[in-house]
Amino acid sequence: MSEIQPEIERIERRLFLRQALSVGALTMLTGCDLTDGNAVDRVLSTMSKWNDGVQAAIFSSTRLAPTYAESEITTPFPFNAFYTEAEAPVVNGDSYRLQLSGKIANKKPWTIAELRTLPHETQVTRHICVEGWSAIGKWGGVPFKTFLERIGADTTAKYVGFKCADKYYSSIDMATALHPQTLLALDYGNEALPTKYGYPMKLRVPTKLGFKNPKHIAEIFVTDDYPGGYWEDQGYNWFSGS
């Protein structure tokens, strides 16, 4: 520890200097002071998009999110959405068909029963919401990589997008879609997802923040065109790794 201490101090000092510089640079480069809200927003948005690239570059497709013991599960697991729990969409499981579009070879819609014939895994992981809470839960479902391969998704494409029954939408990078812990979750605990947690299906992505875990998925699409998302389009950082 004693040998690496000066090195740590050096790095901290450099980070500090660089941060101090970037605030000044923001004013200098843009020619606007920090009271010009729109200009500042544009700069921050550009920085956030640049940050997406950095996060994607350092994202490791093999590094796993921490997993927990069942005894550590948060009970009751919190509900969250852009509306109240009573307003969560009630999806009819019998008539439900998961729609597929974009760069996918076999776009045949899937029933829930068909999805349940695919390989099934469970995970106990932590969900982290930008609103300032986190909770440990248990989800079960089909490894998303298995599903993408099964439908003949073009895994060289850039994005996988999601449209939800409640008009929510989101999208993730292909590397995250193929990550071993990314799950097309059909279950919460040992039972089918209840309405509040996203029946009949949500994407569980423990390597990303909560808002990148779409519930009530109605359609999945594969594309090279940036699809954005409900919160992403309001300024939340798109990559949002956890």
Smallest distance, Å, CB 173 to ligand MTE?
17
d(CA 201, CA 219): 11
DSSP 8-state secondary structure symbol assigned to residue 196: G
Nearer to ligand MTE, 59 or 77 (CB): 77
Residue from 39, 56, 81, 157 in contact with ligand MTE (CB under 6 A): 81
Classify strands 159-164 and 217-223 as parallel, antiparallel or unpaired: antiparallel
Smallest distance, Å, CB 136 to ligand MTE?
11
Would you state the structure tokens that stand for residue 88, as one six-digit string?
């969560």
Smallest distance, Å, CB 52 to ligand MTE?
18
Nearer to ligand MTE, 13 or 167 (CB): 167
Site for ligand MTE in 8-27 (CB under 6 A): none
Nearer to Mo ion, 211 or 238 (CB): 211
Stretch that binds Mo ion, among 22-30, 82-90, 123-131, 150-158 (CB under 5 A): 123-131
The residue count for binding ligand MTE (CB under 6 A) is: 17
* Interface mask toward ligand MTE for 92-131; x: CB under 6 A: -------------------------------------x--
Cβ-contact 164, 216 below 8 angstroms: yes
Give how far Cα 131 sits from Cα of 78, 126, 134, 195, Å.
Answer: 12, 15, 9, 21
d(CA 168, CA 3): 51
Cβ-contact 144, 182 below 8 angstroms: yes
Binding of ligand MTE by 197 (CB under 6 A): yes
Binding of Mo ion by 129 (CB under 5 A): yes
Nearer to Mo ion, 56 or 129 (CB): 129
Reference 224, options 150, 170, 155, 149; nearest CA is 155
Smallest distance, Å, CB 232 to ligand MTE?
11
Nearer to ligand MTE, 39 or 65 (CB): 65
Concatenated DSSP letters of 8-74: HHHHHHHHHHHHHHHHHHHHHHHS--TT-HHHHHHHHHHHHHHHHHHHHHH--SSPPPPB--GGG--
**Helix, coil or strand: residue 217:** strand
Site for ligand MTE in 205-234 (CB under 6 A): 210-211, 213-216
Question: Which residues are at the interface with ligand MTE (CB under 6 A)?
Answer: 78-82, 129, 164, 166, 168, 196-197, 210-211, 213-216
